[in-house]
Every structure is written in C-alpha cells, then in structure tokens.
A and B are shown apart, each in its own frame.
Chain A
Amino acid sequence: MKKNQNLIELRHIKKCYDGNTIVTEDFNLEIKKGEFVTFLGPSGCGKTTILRMIGGFELPTSGEILLNGEDISVLPPNKRPINTVFQKYALFPHLNVYDNVAFGLKLKKIPKREQDEKVRHALEIVDLEGFEKRSIQTLSGGQQQRIAIARAIVNEPELLLLDEPLSALDYKMRKEMQLELKNMHKKLGITFIFVTHDQEEALTMSDKIVVMADGEIQQVGTPEEIYNEPSNLFVADFIGESNIFKGRMMDKRKASFCGAVFDCVDDYEVGTIVDAVIRPEDIEITTSGRGQIQGKILSSDFKGTFYIVLVRSGKNEIEIHSLKNYQPDTVVELYIAPDLIHLIPYDSSINHYEGVITAYSEEKGVHVEFTDFGWDVKVEQIFPNGKLINKNGQPITIEGLKVEASFQPSIAQLSDDAQAGVVQGRIISFLYVGDHYRYTVRSKSEEDYVVDDEYLWNQEDFVSILIPKEKVTYRVWDGKNKKL
C-alpha cells in the first residue's frame, strides 16, 4: 500500500429523496489517508447527507463510494470500518459509560480482558479515566462529547466521521474541544471527516476544507488557499469578511473598480468583467497621498482587537479593519496592495434560461414559454434580421424552436408585490457588492435568478422579479452548450 493512497473516493454521487428533491447531482471527492478533512457550508447544503452516505446511513441514488479502492456504496453501516460521532452524541441512555464505550467491542466478541484494556485506553485518550461506572445522565455536555468520541475510536476505525459534534457545546468548551480533536487526530493517525457550518472552526482544524453550497463543491483546498484565493464569490463571502466590488480589466494586470484603476497580480483578458475581493484587514487607511481612492469615514466601532471602520467612497461602502480609531467625516485615502486584490471573473453561466417558442403572430410577435413564465417578444430580438426565412429563402416554422435567454443581474429588480414581476421566488442568498446587493432568488420550479438590487432584503423573503423584456438577449439554441 502506498502512503498517499486515497482512503475514500466519491464518484459521481447523486442523491435524491422521493425521486424529486435533488440533494446533490454529481459529487466527486477524494480523501487521502490520515487527512483531517472538513465539509463546510451553510445548513442545507448537503454536507451532512454526503457524510451519512459515507457512513452508510443513506444510500446514494447513483454513483459509487470507494474505500481503499473497494466499492462500499451499498454496504450497511455495521459492515463498514467507519465510525461516527453524532451531532447529539447518541449515547445509549440505558447503558453506563463503560457499556457505551464497549458496545462495539462486545458485538465483535472481543475477550473481556482486552475489552477492559481498550476501554480504559480510549477513556484515557479523551481524558476521562475512571468514568467507567458513571451513568450517561450525570455527565456534562462536554463529557458526553468525549464519551461519544471514545465510543467511536475504541473500534479503531480507518475513518472517523464527525457530524457537527461541537455545535451543542458552549463557546469556550468548543474552542477547547477543537484543539483536543486536532491533537487526537495527530495521535491516532486516522482519517477524520468533520462537518461544520462554522468557518472559523473549519479554518482552525482542517488539513483540507471542502466548501459546499447547494449540493455542489465550491472549492477544495487548504485553509490558506480557501481564505486567500476564494474561487468564487460564494466562498469569498462565506469565509471571513470581504469587500466585493464589480469591476473590469482595463489593461494588463490593471483592473478598475470603485472608481479607480488598481494594479493587481491576477490577470484576465482586457475587458473581462470581474469581481474584486478585498479582505477588510488588507485595506490601509493613509493620508500620505499614495492611496488609490478617497473616501469619508462613516463610522468606526471598537471590536476588541481592532476597529471596524466604514468608509464611503463615491457610491461604494467599504469595510476596513483598522488598529486606529477614526472620527466620522474625516476624509481619508485608501491603499490596497496589488497582491491583496483577488479578482474573480464574472460567472457568465448565470441567468441563462431555456425556452420554447410556442406561437407567432404579426401583431404580438413571438411567444416564448420558459419554465417559470412566458411572454411575447419582438421578432427582431430573437432573429436579428427580422426575417423568418432560412438561407434558401424558405419560410421556417419557428414554433417548437428552443431558444436561450440571458440577462445581466443589473437590469433586473426585486419587488415585494407578487404581481409586479414576471416570476416569484424566495431569496436563498445574497452578498453585498460595493454599492448594491446581489441576490439569488429561487423560484418554485427550482430555477435560480441572480438579481442586483440596491435595497436590503432578507434571506427567505418572498419576492417577485422584474425583468425588462427588451434588455434580455436571446439566442436560438443549437443544441450545443448544454450548460444551462
């Protein structure tokens, strides 16, 4: 066996419930022996489901799970050399500490002497020597947590799964357990998969973080990579604090945003629309004249080790973590070093929708039906020459033709009047982008719409989306470009 072999491989995992709710569609991941891997994502992103499939509590709808190269996808949990530390510990209340920890050993019919020895050793690892006879109810949350870990590791699994095991503990206890878990991982040398929604926890503990959202992997990397080089806006926003500005590449390694042109390290083709991500602690407030942009202090709040300073520059609001306090209304300059600007090219795959032409008439134009709505469009918008004939001069039937519509997030608007827009949905996420918010709205039929709006809405708000018909661009769908 090679040292760097993959312990677990997930290949094309698809999971749906009741045949229609899709948790994840095509999930691929490799985990090496001895790694401490964290699945990080907001609640409902599918991280726990993936973990449960590795543990065997749920079966993938399709795809395979390989353990040391062998397919274990349909093996029941009791046949897998994997143990789990459950979120609420799941200690058996009718058994005492010893019987809980020895539960797995007894099932394996391990001799009593050896059992005693192993239980004692496991309790030693979790620092609860001598607790054998205690009943579960007399233990504190932290102690129960440790017993749950002892119960899992006493079976010497190749892989330990931890499903948000620290979420029920208070802040101080959690910090302590984070360190202890990390030490335990080093001592035991087995692979840990840890699930959490707490980014700080993920950053402190892991060798490798898998950031997930909506059943998809957003980024896999070391904590440093995830923090410093987020691969998309979701990761940038979810991990740590960020300022995000809409911008454009002006020249080689020069991007314009926030009303100025900045030197940067990342490079994309001139003209590319980009989002610039800058961490609040990476912006320097100066008055020396070397700053790239000017602004006025809006507020400054003490946060213990630093001040959160809000600066307004033009229409943009910028958050800065500064060691110094500033008086409101002071005019300042801001300097951002080139290597601290992280550019992410605009994701051109958003807001693309497939529709079908269902009718055509002289007066009304072309009627296009999408998943969520349908409307009449002027012929010229879809067929630029305005003529419905093909190369040979024959009139073509356009009914049934598939078209692809797309629009920029900035042209649409949100409204709380359900009748105002063409489509309604709930806000599933949003980020602050310089001078406006970017909302992702999910309709009933699970289509996502990305809309820029300057007003603040909340997650879960039910909104309707106003899309100006004439600003939508269409393309007759030729069957290529399946990415819809």
Chain B
Amino acid sequence: MKKVFSLFWIYLVLLFLYAPILILTVYSFTDATMIGQIRGFSLHNYITLFTTPELLQMIFGTCLLALVVALLSTLLGTVGAIGAFYSKKSTRSVIELANQIPVVNADVVTGFSTCILMIAFFRIRKETYFPLVIGQTALCAPFVYLSVLPRLKQMDHQLYEAALDLGCTPSQALIKVILPQIVPGILSGFMTAITLSLDDYFIATYTKPATFDTISTYVVNATRGSQTEIKTALWALSAIIFVVVTLAVVGMNYSSEKSEGKNR
C-alpha cells in the first residue's frame, strides 16, 4: 500500500515535469501550429530551425558565449579554489563570503548591478560583449569554485607534502599531483557553468548588445510576437536540447558509475 502510494506520487510528479516537454517533442515532428491539432509527420520545423539565419546565429552565439564563459569561469574558479584552500582561514572566509554573493543573489539583481557598474558607471559599450561575458562569468565562477573546493577538502592533504618530499617544487607538486585529484570537480564545475550560461536570461538582457540574442532572450521576445513559423521552430529546438541534455546526463552518469566501480 505504502509502496503503491509512493510510486503513484513519484510518477505523478514525473508526469508533471516531463509531459509538457514530451508532448512538445512529439508535436515538433508535425506541421501543427498548435498543440491539439492532429496533423501528419513533418520535419518542417527542423528545416526552418536549421535554415533560418537568425535562428542559427542565435543558437551558435549562445553556445559560443557559454563556452567562453565556462572556460573563463573554470579557470578563475579552479585557481581561486586552490588558492583559497591553502590560504589563511581569515582570507579564505572573506573569499568564501564574496563567492557566496552571486550564488544566493537573485539573477535580476546580479544582472542589473553588473549592467549599472559597466554601462551606467564605467560607460563601457555593450557592443564590446565585455559586460555580457564578465557578467555571466561573475555568476558562473563561484559555482566552479564550489564544485572544486570539496574535492580539495576530500583529497588526502599529505599528497602535496609527499610530492615535495619526493623532490617536486611547489608548482610541480600542484600540477603533477593536486590538479589530477580535482579533475572531476573541475569538469562538473565546467558543466555547471555551461548550463548556467545557457539558462541565463537576466544578465544577458541587461548587458547584451542590442543585435545579439541568446536562446533565453530570443524565446522571451518570440512569445511576445506572433510568428507561428518561429514559434514552432522553437519546439524543435526544445526537442533537440531535451535529447542532448538527456544523452549528456546519461553519459555522464554511466561514466561516473563505471569509474566508481573501477575504484572499488
């Protein structure tokens, strides 16, 4: 009885979470303009998605931005985490506090404050992309920091000393011994940064150049407009992202399970 109820509840919530995306995915393969219409199979949404220059530019731009931001954040966050981990407690807690600000802050506020600093105060032009990249990096780097730090804490702290003992200079010890131990943390930090940048709407709207659109800002603008052609092409985009994310998650899970199995 209990098991039945718990399964019922779990499936109910799963249904709530997945039904919209799945229905949309199915409809993306038809030429229906609304959910509920019964039409035949068609790839026309996918063709529109991959042939409209505006859409392609937007997708490509979003991905490139995410990549740049993620690389930058990973570099900053990782190096920062290593530095902070070995710093004095007081220094570390100051960094930790500052690091926590973008994590708990509302994205609207982060976006607006970045915009106000860069555009209203320093009068940097949005067209340089500088405010956008820096704004998203300021959001993402703290998450990289947070995913690297536990790895450092878990690591046997004597490894570094052992490396010195065997003749490494401090920088050799860092590269040859410490870095390999925290790779999983760096990777998951990088992935988090990618998804945060892809998901971001607020920092982008407040700091992006007027001619540039990310998926989020584009979708929000599209809902205001009434171009059904674009609307249904975005269904195709949703379907693709859904499949890509699912594959990525399954793949990551599989590989981590495999490596864990190996460790045991």
User: A and B touching (C-beta < 8 Å)?
Assistant: yes
Are B167 and A107 touching (Cβ within 8 A)? yes
A351 within 8 A of B: no
**Given A88-B156, A137-B264: A78 touches B180 (CB 8 Å cut-off):** no
Interface of B is mostly: helix
Cβ–Cβ < 8 Å partners of B167 in chain A:
78, 104, 107-108, 155
Q: Which residues does A use to contact B, with CB under 8 Å?
A: 55-57, 76-78, 82-84, 86-88, 90-94, 103-104, 107-108, 135, 137, 151-152, 155
Are B166 and A155 touching (Cβ within 8 A)? yes
Residue of B nearest to A77 (CB): B164
Cβ–Cβ < 8 Å partners of A152 in chain B:
165-166
B19 within 8 A of A: no
Are B180 and A94 touching (Cβ within 8 A)? yes
CA distance A56 to B233 in the complex (A): 65
Q: Which residues does B use to contact A, with CB under 8 Å?
A: 156, 158-159, 161-170, 172, 177, 180-181, 262-264
Shortest Cβ distance from residue B86 to the other chain A in the assembled complex, whole angstroms: 13
Are B263 and A137 touching (Cβ within 8 A)? yes
Residue of B nearest to A151 (CB): B166
3 pairs of A and B residues whose beta carbons are closest in the complex: A104-B166, A90-B162, A90-B158
Are A107 and B165 touching (Cβ within 8 A)? no
**Given A93-B181, A137-B262: A87 touches B164 (CB 8 Å cut-off):** no
Residue of B nearest to A104 (CB): B166
Cβ–Cβ < 8 Å partners of A94 in chain B:
180-181
Cβ–Cβ < 8 Å partners of B168 in chain A:
78, 107
A76: which of B156, B159, B164 is its contact (CB, 8 Å)?
A: B164
Are A90 and B161 touching (Cβ within 8 A)? yes
Cβ–Cβ < 8 Å partners of B263 in chain A:
137
Are A86 and B161 touching (Cβ within 8 A)? yes
Are A84 and B156 touching (Cβ within 8 A)? no
12 additional contacts (CB under 8 A) given A88-B158, A92-B162, A137-B263: A55-B165, A77-B161, A78-B167, A84-B161, A84-B162, A92-B163, A92-B180, A104-B167, A107-B166, A107-B172, A151-B166, A155-B166
B164: which of A57, A135, A151 is its contact (CB, 8 Å)?
A: A57
Residue of B nearest to A102 (CB): B166
Cβ–Cβ < 8 Å partners of A103 in chain B:
163, 166
CA distance A305 to B39 in the complex (A): 91
Shortest Cβ distance from residue B36 to the other chain A in the assembled complex, whole angstroms: 55
Cβ–Cβ < 8 Å partners of A155 in chain B:
166-167
Shortest Cβ distance from residue B166 to the other chain A in the assembled complex, whole angstroms: 4
Are B156 and A90 touching (Cβ within 8 A)? yes
Give 9 pairs: A residue, B residue, CB < 8 Å, sorted on A: A56-B165, A76-B164, A84-B161, A86-B161, A90-B161, A104-B166, A107-B166, A137-B264, A151-B166
Cβ–Cβ < 8 Å partners of B161 in chain A:
55, 57, 77, 84, 86, 90
Are B159 and A92 touching (Cβ within 8 A)? yes
Residue of B nearest to A86 (CB): B158
CA distance A93 to B181 in the complex (A): 8
Shortest Cβ distance from residue A53 to the other chain B in the assembled complex, whole angstroms: 13
Are A86 and B162 touching (Cβ within 8 A)? yes
Shortest Cβ distance from residue B164 to the other chain A in the assembled complex, whole angstroms: 4
**Interface core residue of B161, B164, B165, B172 (most chain A CB under 10 Å):** B165
Are B162 and A56 touching (Cβ within 8 A)? no
Residue of B nearest to A107 (CB): B167
Are B165 and A84 touching (Cβ within 8 A)? yes
Shortest Cβ distance from residue A150 to the other chain B in the assembled complex, whole angstroms: 12
